[in-house]
């Protein structure tokens, strides 16, 4: 079933996420990371950021929060059984540090159809507690037939 | 690799990421994405995926690791990471990330990359672009 294009432009409430120290380590371990800047406080203290920082795609958690809300949006009614992630584009402005508070705004930027598939794209912009941009992202999902 | 030493045509050091049987479960717990297509093989079969599949963002996390490792290990050096999830990754496959530097201008170097499984036959990430900044 086609996704109604009238939802292009729909925005979701700003999503606030505090980057947890242990969550960074948990995420890093789950993706097979061994980088001490993510996992070792002592090494990270001597490193370029003075404390542990998150791997780049940790943005999936803080920037992905409102995207999850979109995926489960009852009004949009996406067929999650047939939904897969199609494309992802992250633009990184600043690293995410343990203790940072991220605020992410999310808008549905495109809905289209091609070869019997539906495509839904969300754009997110995340800023930290200092009001500085952290990550801008485009998330494209495909609903298969 | 120091930014100043990056040259057009350089290969990104290949990254090999074995996907264990329970990798989708570990990633589900870490990312809070518990979509059954990732953690339930029976559900994955039912919806025509042939079993449970790894999260695209986990494959992209592997690509990010390969890129950051190449750039010297500081995630601040990664300016952009983009890719298409062309085919699903299944448990017990190995994701191989490979790329090369295609442009360098000012404080930005750009690489094209892709990821494959099954000895390069199955392209799982395509149209990959990674940008590195001088730090």
Residue B124 contacts A where some CB pair is shorter than 8 Å:
no
User: Is the alpha carbon torsion for B29, B115, A57, A144 positive or negative?
Assistant: negative
Whether residue A111 is predicted with pLDDT greater than 80 in this model: the reply is: yes
Q: Which of A33, A82, A95 sits opposite B65 (nearest CB)?
A: A33
- Longest alpha-carbon distance in chain B: 51
Two structure tokens written together for B84: 């298409």
Q: Is A80 close to B35, i.e. CB distance below 8 A? A: yes
Domain membership of residue A98 as a residue range:
5-143
* CATH number of residue A67's parent domain: 3.10.129.10
Residues 6+ apart with CB under 8 A from B51: B41, B44, B45, B90, B91
Average pLDDT over residues B27-53: 95
* Angstrom distance (rounded) from CA A71 to CA A124: 14
User: Is the alpha carbon torsion for A71, A88, B60, A63 positive or negative?
Assistant: negative
Whole-prediction pTM value? 0.96
Q: Taking CB atoms and an 8 Å cutoff, what residues of chain A touch B83?
A: 87-88
The answer to whether B111 touches B102, Cβ cutoff 8 Å, is yes
pLDDT value of position A81: 87
pLDDT digits (tens, 9 = 90+) for B56-94: 999 999 999 999 999 999 999 999 999 999 999 999 999
pLDDT digits (tens, 9 = 90+) for A78-102: 998 899 999 999 999 999 999 999 9
Q: How many CB atoms lie within 10 A of CB A89?
A: 17
pLDDT digits (tens, 9 = 90+) for B111-134: 999 999 977 788 999 999 999 999
When pLDDT is cut at 50, 70 and 90, the band that residue B1 belongs to is confident
Domains of chain A: total = 1
pLDDT digits (tens, 9 = 90+) for A35-66: 999 999 999 999 999 999 999 999 999 999 99
ipTM above 0.85, yes or no: yes
* Region of B48 on the Ramachandran plot (φ > 0 left; ψ -120 to 50 alpha; else beta): left
């Amino acid at each position: 079933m086609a996704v109604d294009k009238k939802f292009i432009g729909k925005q979701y409430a700003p999503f606030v996420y505090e980057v947890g120290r242990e969550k960074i380590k948990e995420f890093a371990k789950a993706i097979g990371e061994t980088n001490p800047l993510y996992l070792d406080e002592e090494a990270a203290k001597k490193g370029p950021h003075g404390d542990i920082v998150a791997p780049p795609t940790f943005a999936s958690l803080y920037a992905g929060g409102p995207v999850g809300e979109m995926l489960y949006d009852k009004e949009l009614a996406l067929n999650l059984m047939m939904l897969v992630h199609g494309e992802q584009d992250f633009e990184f402005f600043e690293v995410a540090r343990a203790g940072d508070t991220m605020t992410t705004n999310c808008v549905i930027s495109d809905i289209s159809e091609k070869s019997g598939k539906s495509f839904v794209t969300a754009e997110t912009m995340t800023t930290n507690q200092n009001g500085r941009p952290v990550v801008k992202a485009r998330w494209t999902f495909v609903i298969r037939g | 690799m120091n930014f100043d030493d990056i040259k057009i045509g350089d290969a990104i050091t290949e990254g090999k990421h074995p996907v264990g049987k329970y990798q989708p479960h570990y990633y589900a717990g870490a990312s809070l994405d518990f979509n059954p297509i990732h953690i339930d093989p029976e559900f994955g079969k039912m919806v025509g995926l042939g079993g449970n599949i790894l999260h695209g963002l986990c494959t992209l996390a592997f690509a990010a690791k390969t890129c950051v490792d190449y750039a010297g290990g500081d995630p601040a050096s990664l300016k952009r990471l983009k890719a298409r999830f062309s085919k699903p990754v299944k448990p017990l496959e190995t994701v191989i990330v490979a790329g090369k530097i295609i442009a360098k201008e000012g404080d930005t170097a750009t690489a094209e990359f892709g990821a494959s499984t099954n000895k390069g036959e199955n392209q799982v990430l395509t149209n990959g672009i990674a940008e590195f900044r001088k730090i």
